[in-house]
Amino acid sequence: MSTEYQVLSNADEISRSAADEFVRRAEAAVCDRGAFTVALAGGTTPKSMYSLLAGDAYVKKVPWDKISFFWGDERHVPPSHADSNYRMAYEAMLKKVPVRPESIYRIMTEDTDAAAVAQAYEHTLRTHFSLTEGDLPEFDLVLLGMGPDGHTASLFPGTGALDEKTKLVAANWVEKFHSYRVTMTVPVLNNADCVIFMVSGAEKTPALEAVLQGDAPPKKYPAKFIRPVRGKLVWLLDRAAYPGDPARLVSSAASD
Ligand code: 6PG
């Protein structure tokens, strides 16, 4: 695993840096094998990156017809719901660009049985990536955010999905929301060629410190579980989230 840290001025710079990396990796993957697979993040931080990619400055740089879009996680709400990660990405980007509709693989959360939703998405992954038992999908790019509690995707502190080592997708009960979330599991996220965290805002500072520099257990700060086995880990941080000395964040080659 190699790790790169970028401490940027603000959320807009995070979006631009993430969009640049997205384009670079999409171009490389399409050149290499004619396709690019990405797992999108939910929440609010990535929304401006999605809008940027669909905007004049980037839209013509992206090989939209060669990209397959997945979601790292989803709330257990219908796709039309205001909290839907699918809806956020669709409104901000996907409805504005020439992506093939059949290449948009949303998590089908209209099914009220969260376990069935997770099972169905796992089947979608196994089919798309032609996986045999025990295989993991290898995403070209996984986009992630991090909550103030150190969660990422829908891997929340102290929840059952943190221990999931064989399933690709889990239905994860989150007590504080009194609801299920559906999330890709740690082994899937760590099998990506590149994982980009986008972390903005002072409310993230304590958790970010614990994830990047503390010795707190990953179960308390699940973003600590994300360590790509072979791939590159990129932390895009703004000064509000990381007010510390950037020199303390030593980017590393494949050593660690
Ligand atoms: C979600 C996301 C979640 C998000 C973090 C950070 O479904 O909400 O998958 O993991 O990335 O909560 O969200 P913000 O970027 O909005 O702070």
Q: Is the CB of 44 under 6 A from ligand 1?
A: yes
Choose between 250 and 118: higher pLDDT: 118
Q: What percent of the chain has pLDDT over 70?
A: 98
With the most atoms of ligand 1 within 8 angstroms of its CB, the residue from 10, 40, 45 to mutate is 45
When pLDDT is cut at 50, 70 and 90, the band that residue 256 belongs to is: very low
Per-chain mean pLDDT for the chain: 96
- Ligand 1 lined by 252 (C-beta under 6 Å): no
User: What 3-state DSSP class applies to 224?
Assistant: helix
Cα within 13 Å of Cα(59), Cβ side: 12
Mean pLDDT for the stretch of residues 152-156: 98
Exposed/middle/buried for 23, CB within 10 Å: 0-12, 13-18, 19+?
middle
Task: Give the residue carrying structure tokens 């901000």.
Answer: 92
Concatenated DSSP letters of 138-167 = --SEEEE---TTS-BTTB-TT-GGGG--S-
Q: What Rg value do the Cα atoms of the chain yield, rounded?
A: 17
Q: Supply the residue whose CA is at minimum distance from atom 10 of ligand 1.
A: 153
* Atom 2 of ligand 1: nearest residue by CA position: 42
pLDDT score for 98: 98
As beta bridge partners, residue 169 has 184
SS3 sequence, 89-106?
A: HHHHCHHHCCCCHHHECC
Angle CA 144–234–156, to nearest 5: 30
- What's the gap in Å between 195 CA and the centre of ligand 1? 15
Ligand 1 atom nearest residue 72's Cα: 9
Count of helix runs (H) and strand runs (E) in the chain: 6, 9
Residue 85 in contact with ligand 1 by CB distance below 6 A: yes
Q: Tokens in use for 191?
A: 């099998």
Helix (H, G, I), strand (E, B) or coil at 189: helix
What distance in angstroms lies between residue 156's CA and the mean position of ligand 1's atoms?
Answer: 11
Torsion of CA 82, 13, 63, 106, to 10 degrees: -20
The single-letter DSSP state of residue 60 is G
Q: What beta strand segments (E) does the chain contain? A: 2-8, 36-40, 67-71, 73-75, 141-144, 169-174, 179-184, 194-199, 232-238
- Residue whose entry in the numeric block shows the structure tokens 């932390």: 235
pLDDT of residue 92: 98
Q: Report whether residue 42 contacts ligand 1, using a CB cutoff of 6 Å.
A: yes
**Arithmetic mean of pLDDT, 101-106:** 98
What pLDDT sits at residue 8? 98
Report how far residue 229's alpha carbon sits from residue 209's, in angstroms, rounded to the nearest whole number. Answer: 22
For residues 48-53, average pLDDT: 98
For 179-236, how does the pLDDT look when each residue is reduced to its tens digit (9 = 90+)?
999 999 999 999 999 999 999 999 999 999 999 987 899 999 999 999 999 999 999 9
Among 14, 15, 40, 44, residue to substitute to test ligand 1 (most atoms within 8 Å of Cβ): 44
CA dist., res. 232 & res. 227, Å (int) = 9
Does 228 sit in the ligand 1 pocket, CB within 6 Å? no
- What is the model's pLDDT at position 30? 98
The pLDDT value given to residue 112: 96
pLDDT for position 33: 97
Nearest ligand 1 atom, CA 183? 9
Give yes or no for residue 152 CB within 6 A of ligand 1: yes
Confidence of residue 253 (pLDDT cuts 50, 70, 90): low
Residue whose structure tokens are 């891997």: 155
- Are the C-beta atoms of residues 236 and 199 closer than 8 Å to each other? yes
Rounded average pLDDT over 50-68: 98
Ligand 1, atom 11, residue with closest C-alpha = 145
Which among 70, 71, 69, 67 has a CA at the least distance from the CA of 30?
A: 67
For the cut 90, the answer to whether the pLDDT of residue 123 exceeds it is yes
Is the pLDDT reported for residue 122 higher than 60? yes
Place of tokens 């994860």: 172
Q: Among 50, 75, 76, 154, which is best to mutate for testing ligand 1, by the most ligand atoms less than 8 A from CB?
A: 154
- 225-250 mean pLDDT: 95
